[in-house]
Amino acid sequence: MKVFIVEDEELAVKKLRKTLESVDSAAQVVGVADSIRSSVNWLQNNPAPDLILMDIELCDGQSFEIFDKVDVKSTVIFTTSYDEYALKAFKVNSVDYLLKPVQKEDLQAALAKLQNMKTIYGGQNEAAPLNFENLVKELQSKLQPKGFRKRFLVKHAQKLVSVDVDEIAYFYSDGRLNFFKTYDNRKFVVDYTMDELEDMLDPGRYFRISRSFYVSITSIDQIHDYFGNRLLLRLKPAVDKESIVSREKVTDFKLWMGK
């Protein structure tokens, strides 16, 4: 089996070579590239290898760009430092990936799945290479950074004020209007519903604990158990209503807090 490695960390390349040798002594590393540009150049000037071990994050961008520049005719297994929680959807959809540093058992299992992956993505012809068009689009949609709101324009007295998201501790609703509070305890009405805010706020920073609350991770001062298998949060600055993590949100909230 001829293998091409796309990886920009020298130590990771050495580790992959060693692990590959221990899994398949017949495997031959026929090339190594450390960037999108060098990968495209190698693929354009060499016969297609049997397998490409491809890191997602390279020094000059995400390796998905390689597929836009050259027709990849080989089976690809992605390697990545993204945590398993963020990538669990890929397993559900039979998209294989290896978490770095790559372990022998994981690589062994991935190689064993190649024939199955060809069947899923390559149609009925088992000898056909994988069709990566839909696969790459899916990975890009999951991993490429999404644009989130950087600021909100709100009314204050008789004028409009622009407030940076970095200044906002939490968003909440009183049933009639929606507000946000800044870390310096200023309160503003925001002209968006809580559902609309969901697409605007970075989920790494804000979490919707209930229908009426979005909290930033740095606004949480204390977490207390609350009846009904819920959690009660003490926020800073203080808010004039209870900030309770609803029962159905508790598990995801704990995962979010533990990232």
Residue range 152-202, pLDDT digits in tens: 999 888 889 999 999 999 999 988 899 999 999 999 999 999 999 988 898
Helix (H, G, I), strand (E, B) or coil at 19: helix
φ, ψ of residue 175 in degrees (nearest 5): 100, -25
Q: Residue length, the chain?
A: 259
Least confident of 9-23, 85-99, 152-166, 223-237: 85-99
Q: Which is nearest to 1 in space by CA: 24, 19, 23, 22?
A: 24
Question: Strands, E, within 187-254: which ranges?
Answer: 187-189, 206-210, 213-216, 220-226, 230-235, 243-245
Q: What is the pLDDT of residues 129-152, one digit of tens each?
A: 444 555 556 555 655 555 788 899
Q: Between these two residues, 19 and 60, which has the higher pLDDT value?
A: 19
List the domain boundaries for the chain: 2-143, 151-257
Helix (H, G, I), strand (E, B) or coil at 41: helix
pLDDT of amino acid 118: 55
pLDDT of amino acid 96: 54
Instruction: Show the CA angle centred on residue 190, arms to residues 187 and 191, nearest 5°.
Output: 160
CATH superfamily of 151-257: LytTr DNA-binding domain (2.40.50.1020)
Q: Which is nearest to 53 in space by CA: 27, 81, 16, 25?
A: 16
Helix (H, G, I), strand (E, B) or coil at 124: coil
Which residues, 6+ apart, have CB-to-CB distance to 194 below 8 Å? Answer: 171, 173, 178, 208, 211, 212, 214
Pick the CATH number of 2-143 from 2.60.40.10, 3.90.1150.10, 3.40.50.2300, 3.40.50.300: 3.40.50.2300
Pairing assessment for the beta strands 28-33 and 159-164 based on DSSP bridges: unpaired
Whole-prediction pTM: 0.47
